[in-house]
Structure 1
Amino acid sequence: MKLTTLFDKGEFVITGEVGPIKGAIHRDKSIEPTCAIEALQLHQHVHAVNVTDNQSAVMRLGSLAASVRLKTNGIEPVYQLTCRDRNRLALQSDLLTAYSLGIDNVLLLTGDHIQLGDHKEAKPVFDLDSVQLIDMAKGLKRGYDISGSRIENYLDMAFGAVVNPNSDPIELQIMKMRKKIDAGAQFFQTQAVYDVKIFEKFIKKVERFNCPIQVGIVVLKTPQMGRFMNKNISGIHVPDEWIDEIGSVGKEDYKKKAAEMAGRFIKKIKSMVQGVHIMPLGWTDIVPDILEHAQIKPANNKR
């Protein structure tokens, strides 16, 4: 099911996220890859599961293969597609292939730079940027490739995009968000946010766009993780209060405290958005607790 259908119905859309394994899927279908197991754990609590595309420029199993595997297990995937590794021929071909294999939702991204990953000698492509990628996808939906040639059996997918409420100055990010909407973006998932005031300021500036937004949150597992993100991940800031609070408990209580903190944050801002995108980074077992702290009914209770 397209996420846009849920947004149109007024559903509060909940998505999670998994990363494909660094390796191939076992051909014995009784042996599920880690990402499928995590997605199965998420399945009862979310509407759909994002499948990352070589996240942080680290080589892994392709997002498309993992997305199709989830689909065959009855889990709605959000296929992620980045500009970093493909030229416009490959991007169009992969979108058509994804739709042909039953994928209904795609998140269209620029992609993390090669220098962040494990193959720094690789040549980045970036033939298109994220706005051009969305516009190209819209063309495929209308029956034309990027060169203007007609295509057969054109795709019909829901197009998502990303926005970063932490950017400073925020006006540049808002301008790009407007361009993405004009290009064909139908919903947005935000980069990880931890500051209510920053997010509220952002929402007041973009609510006029009348486009569904899911607030994104990366589960903060340890104080060391918070400090690492502040030092190494551009566009994300974890406030000292978050770092101090997760560090106020022993290691055996990190999961419980992380769920409480994430849920409390979502509870504060859920009235401003149309959904939430939870990135548990392997801690899929705490997602039910996060939703309980946020006072949000799991997706399986909404269908």
Structure 2
Amino acid sequence: MVKSARLETAAERKEFLITAEVMPPKGPDIEAFLEKATLLKNRVHAVNVTDSNRAVMRMSPLAASALLVQRGIEPICQLACRDRNRIALQGDLLGAEALGIHNILALTGDPVGCGDHPQARAVCDLESVRLLRVIGGLNRGFDSAGNALSSPTRLFAGAAIDPQCTSEAGLRSRFRRKVESGARFFQSQLVTDFERLAWFMDAIAHESARPVLAGIFLLKSAKNAEFINRNLPGVTIPEGIIRRLAGACDPLKEGTAIAAEQVAKARQICDGVHLMAIRKEELIPEILDLAGIAPVQ
């Protein structure tokens, strides 16, 4: 199957990259999922399809990504090592190649204890760095045991990064290991400290020549922001933003404006943005318009 490589091509051209996240359905009905993804078709270079994010069971990201390919929407298929051993992961990666899915985001995966199946047994045969190495091997035509494939894959592998990690040494080491293991692009966790992001780009990411996309989250209300501060380790929504949301006549509209401001800030610092607007994906085009980001070609 012929694969779209819009994201990889845009990265090679050093364009400002735009991606956005859409969760597969918790059930077999795909209508709402496809509707949200279709709204993003000409506004982003690729749509991330999450892999049971926060360990909450949802449709297979491989199946959901294939559905997007059928509709001319380029996906980034997330694969979490939490749920599969190296045999299953490689089988899914070969399946992605056959289905025309070009982009893979290699993730370790959230702990099962935080999800809706806490009794599940985590696999964790690999983690994200070793999965990147496995993808590199498949792209060279060999599985992780050294056996030759019938033909090599051509997967464009990415990884997650947290520029706001408090351990400079840990952040530097993790980023370097992922680059050395084959990460071709990076999507960051939710960013609220843009001074820290600028430091990360200058001190760590710059020499790698790998595009880094800042994670921008649409806050719907002050309550939403306070929930994030309580429940997402390493993320702190500034009090000034919480006050703006609390004092707004229309908190969602204010959150949209804040997200657009953050996109504009990121545009001056890094190589792209990754937009997360959980259950409000229809507002992503408006965020991009407010930030002065034109539709992608």
Q: Shorter-chain TM-score: what band?
A: over 0.9
CA distance in 2, matches of 1:143, 1:14: 30
- Contact persistence 1:38–1:282 (CA under 8 A): no
CA distance in 2, matches of 1:82, 1:150: 24
Structure 1 counterpart of 2:259, one-letter code: A
Partner secondary structure for residue 247 of structure 1 = helix
Partner secondary structure for residue 7 of structure 1 = helix
Structure 1 counterpart of 2:208, one-letter code: F
Deviation at 1:293, TM superposition (A): 2.4
- Contact persistence 1:161–1:187 (CA under 8 A): yes
Q: Name segments (4+ residues, structure 1) moved above 3 Å.
A: none
Further displaced range: 3-12 or 106-115: 3-12
1:59-90: CA deviation from partner (whole Å, max 9, x where unpaired): 01110111011111111111110100000100
- Contact persistence 2:216–2:262 (CA under 8 A): no
Structure 2 counterpart of 1:291, one-letter code: L
Deviation at 1:224, TM superposition (A): 1.3
Q: How does 1:14-93 map to 2 (within 5 A)?
A: 14-25=18-29, 32-93=30-91
Q: TM-score, normalised by structure 1?
A: 0.93
CA distance in 2, matches of 1:297, 1:170: 35
CA distance in 2, matches of 1:294, 1:165: 22
- Contact persistence 1:80–1:107 (CA under 8 A): yes
Residue equivalent to 1:275: 272
Gaps of 5+ in 1: 26-31
Residue equivalent to 2:239: 240
CA distance in 2, matches of 1:114, 1:173: 24
Structure 2 counterpart of 1:283, one-letter code: K
CA distance in 2, matches of 1:171, 1:270: 26
Residue equivalent to 1:220: 219
CA distance in 2, matches of 1:209, 1:70: 31
Q: How does 1:160-239 map to 2 (within 5 A)?
A: 160-206=158-204, 207-239=206-238
- Contact persistence 1:83–1:109 (CA under 8 A): yes
- Contact persistence 2:221–2:252 (CA under 8 A): no
1:170-214: CA deviation from partner (whole Å, max 9, x where unpaired): 331221111011000000000010121121121121212221111
CA distance in 1, matches of 2:39, 2:180: 36
Cα distance, 1:23–1:52 mapped onto 2, change above 3 Å:
same
Structure 2 counterpart of 1:220, one-letter code: L
CA distance in 2, matches of 1:257, 1:45: 21
Q: How does 1:108-119 map to 2 (within 5 A)?
A: 108-119=106-117
Length, aligned pairs only = 292
Structure 1 counterpart of 2:220, one-letter code: K
Matched, 1:11 2:11: no
Matched, 1:159 2:163: no
Deviation at 1:269, TM superposition (A): 2.4
Residue equivalent to 2:257: 260
Q: TM-score, normalised by structure 2?
A: 0.95
Structure 1 counterpart of 2:14, one-letter code: G
Structure 2 counterpart of 1:9, one-letter code: R
CA distance in 2, matches of 1:208, 1:68: 34
Further displaced range: 51-60 or 40-49: 40-49
Deviation at 1:49, TM superposition (A): 0.5
- Contact persistence 2:219–2:252 (CA under 8 A): no
Structure 2 counterpart of 1:284, one-letter code: E
Sequence identity of aligned pairs in percent? Answer: 39
Structure 2 counterpart of 1:6, one-letter code: A
CA distance in 2, matches of 1:49, 1:196: 24
Gaps of 5+ in 2: none
